Amino acid sequence: MKLMMKRPRDLSWIVLMLIGLVSGACGRDEQGASSPPIAVTPAGDWRTWNFDQVPAGQPPSSFSVQKTGSGTLPKWEVLADPTAPSPPNVVAQRSKESSGEHFNVAVVEDSDYQDLELEVKFKAVEGAEDQGGGLIWRYQDPDNYYIVRANPLEDNFRIYRVVQGVRRQQKGAYIKVASGIWHTMRIVAKGDQMECFYDEKKYLEVRDATFKRGKIGLWTKADAVSYFDDLRVRPIK
């Protein structure tokens, strides 16, 4: 009696379906899942700049004015603003040079941090090409550093890496960024982990080990006129 062996079913469609499900789940995890927050253990006191000890019309003390890209040096100066979070003064970027990839930078010259918590309050005032601004950390020179910034014209919040003067986006989120009112921006950086917060909510997290330590500062692009107050930083471990 001849035994008839059943031909195995073609399982390729099942394999493909399983691969698709796994890939889809991984994609969702990458886009939507949030890793545990960075454990922040203070390793020193907060250092704060509220700009109230500098006369209005003067550049902020202990900061150096720099630029990335073409064009002239930006104009950073202390101004009186009755809406300041800690009145009477703020520091403002007032240059209106509109030349594309032209970044206005103000760096705290005597700063040097590796792992840190960094925060500032900011208000977007005006700008046709660009608005808003953000924070710089692990700054090496005008062409190498990290940025996180918020833009009311685009309603987004993004983290970038600038290497050899070329800015590359690492991650971004579409959120409502209202101009003319004060917001809070904060970053936590520990090793190669970085978390970025806008108005106390975490929107961005990335891993990058390009820069290990460096200076901190403030940043705007092109003709973005922006006000900043209560910049503060502390080391963490």
Whole-number Cα distances in Å, 90 to 119, 127, 160:
15, 18, 25
Q: What's the average pLDDT block by block, 10 residues per block, for the chain (237 residues)?
A: 45 41 34 71 96 95 94 95 97 88 95 98 96 97 98 98 97 97 98 97 97 98 97 97
| Structural domains in the chain, sorted by start | 40-235 (2.60.120.560)
pTM of the model: 0.85
Whole-number Cα distances in Å, 120 to 44, 150, 168, 211, 216:
18, 12, 23, 21, 11
**What is residue 97's predicted lDDT score, i.e. its pLDDT?**
86
**What is residue 99's predicted lDDT score, i.e. its pLDDT?**
73
**What is residue 27's predicted lDDT score, i.e. its pLDDT?**
31
Which run of H or of E encompasses 189?
Answer: strand 183-190
Q: How far apart are CA 189 and CA 8, in angstroms?
A: 55
